[in-house]
């Protein structure tokens, strides 16, 4: 069985789906790995490293003709047209429903495995792309905040005077939020965090931060550890109660997103107006409407003297490690998808395993 790895073509995407280290593992298990020339260059993996690991370097047409295709971002229609009928696609589909890419793959009988749909259960943790990439995003978001903030984050004492630690507020305590808390604490900031799920208080405090507690009259705890959307009344009350807490901050990092919905507004214009000039807001939800409606996707904007950082692909800013984590997620998923056959590895029944069953994107008629 052949696994194909092609170069990402989406603007700003520097990651690669499979790294040389993971190639070694896959080749030992019986896969033939075909890598498009230059696929790993933006992540600092050259063709020679792939060859040394046991991969074959080929052109894009040869790679796309493989039995299994691994990607980071969803394939273009041109790429899909070059895939083999009946192949398997493993990667992100970045869609909340049917779209042209999914329809085109299904029309060619290509099995679509959407990594963002891998269920968050214990057995699937090693395959959880959303978590592995969110960890990187949370870390990088703090570095971006520190780089744009024109003051020290930690307490700084010198012969010329001293600087108080910056007050950093993290909104949303999921994987990205927890990593942001830990990183900001390591940099010496005075860190506060808020989440609509009351059970996160212990997690916040375990990292040395202070939990912001608001009584909004309802819980935001949803299924599978995710937050659920608040009622309109709850959202309005949350906004009102957050104004005072956020207005004291020097840096605000927002991570709150709801899959397939517009991000909740947490940082209102009133808060931005109240912040000290030179403060920084890193809006990690800028690509889905923004936790602050003044932020702009993939831009560093300014409003009322406050910098609003709206990057939408933090993992791509750290492509080597981000690719390494992503590739291991894919390799772990392949472990449960393939088994030895008479003439090499063969695909298992994807419906027989709860992980691959949940990750499959099936035609509407089959659901």
Give the phi and the psi of residue 255 in degrees, each rounded to 5: -130, 5
Known catalytic membership, residue 149: no
The H or E element spanning position 362 is none
| Neighbouring C-beta atoms of residue 159, cutoff 10 Å | 5
Known catalytic membership, residue 128: yes
Query: Measured between alpha carbons, how far is residue 28 from residues 24, 174, 334, 347 in Å?
Result: 6, 36, 13, 17
Of residues 36, 101, 106, 131, which has the active-site annotation?
131
Of residues 67, 106, 128, 140, which has the active-site annotation?
128
> CA 124: distance to chain centroid?
16
Known catalytic membership, residue 283: no
Distance CA 35, CA 37 (A): 6
Known catalytic membership, residue 120: yes
| Neighbouring C-beta atoms of residue 202, cutoff 10 Å | 9
CB under 8 Å to 202, separation ≥6 — which residues? none
Distance CA 162, CA 159 (A): 8
Distance CA 268, CA 339 (A): 53
Judge residue 350's burial from the number of C-beta atoms within 10 Å of its C-beta, 0-12 exposed, 13-18 middle, 19 or more buried: middle
- The DSSP annotation for 286-317 comes to GGGT-SSTT--TT-EEEETTEEEE--S-SGGG
| Neighbouring C-beta atoms of residue 208, cutoff 10 Å | 12
Of residues 108, 117, 120, 293, which has the active-site annotation?
120
CB under 8 Å to 305, separation ≥6 — which residues? 275, 277, 278, 279
Known catalytic membership, residue 276: no
Of residues 226, 231, 273, 298, which has the active-site annotation?
226
Of residues 125, 206, 273, 299, which has the active-site annotation?
125
Judge residue 320's burial from the number of C-beta atoms within 10 Å of its C-beta, 0-12 exposed, 13-18 middle, 19 or more buried: middle
> CA 207: distance to chain centroid?
21
Report, as residue numbers or ranges, the catalytic residues. 120, 125, 128, 131, 226
């Amino acid at each position: 069985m052949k696994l194909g790895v092609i170069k990402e073509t989406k603007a700003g995407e520097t990651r690669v789906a499979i790294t040389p280290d993971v190639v070694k593992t896959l080749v030992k298990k019986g896969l033939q790995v075909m890598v498009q020339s230059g696929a790993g260059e933006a992540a600092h993996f050259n063709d020679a490293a792939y060859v040394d690991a046991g991969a074959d370097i080929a052109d894009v047409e040869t790679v796309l003709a493989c039995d299994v295709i691994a990607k980071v971002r969803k394939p273009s229609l041109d790429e899909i047209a070059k895939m083999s009928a009946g192949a398997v696609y493993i990667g992100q589909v970045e869609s909340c429903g049917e779209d042209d890419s999914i329809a085109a793959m299904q029309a060619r009988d290509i099995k679509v495995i959407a990594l963002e749909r891998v269920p968050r259960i214990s057995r699937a943790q090693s395959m959880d792309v959303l978590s592995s990439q969110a960890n990187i995003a949370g870390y990088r978001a703090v570095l971006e905040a520190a780089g744009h903030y024109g003051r020290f984050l930690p307490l700084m004492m010198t012969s010329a005077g001293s600087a108080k630690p910056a007050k950093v507020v993290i909104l949303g305590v999921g994987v990205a939020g927890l990593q942001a808390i830990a990183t900001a604490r390591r940099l010496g900031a005075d860190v506060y965090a808020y989440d609509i799920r009351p059970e996160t208080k212990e997690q916040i405090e375990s990292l040395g931060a202070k939990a912001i507690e608001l009584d909004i009259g309802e819980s935001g705890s949803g299924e599978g550890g995710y937050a659920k959307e608040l009622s309109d009344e709850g959202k309005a009350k949350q906004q009102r109660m957050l104004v005072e807490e956020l207005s004291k901050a020097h840096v605000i990092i927002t991570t709150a997103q709801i899959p397939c919905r517009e991000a909740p507004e947490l940082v209102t214009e009133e808060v931005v107006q109240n912040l000290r000039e030179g403060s920084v807001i890193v809006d990690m939800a800028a690509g889905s409407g923004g936790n602050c409606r003044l932020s702009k996707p993939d831009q560093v904007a300014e409003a009322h003297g406050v910098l609003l950082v709206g990057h939408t692909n933090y993992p791509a800013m750290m492509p080597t490690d981000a690719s390494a984590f992503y590739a291991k997620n894919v390799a772990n998923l392949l472990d449960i998808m393939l088994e030895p056959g008479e003439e090499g590895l063969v695909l298992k029944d994807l419906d027989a395993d709860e992980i691959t069953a949940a990750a499959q994107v099936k035609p509407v008629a089959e659901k």
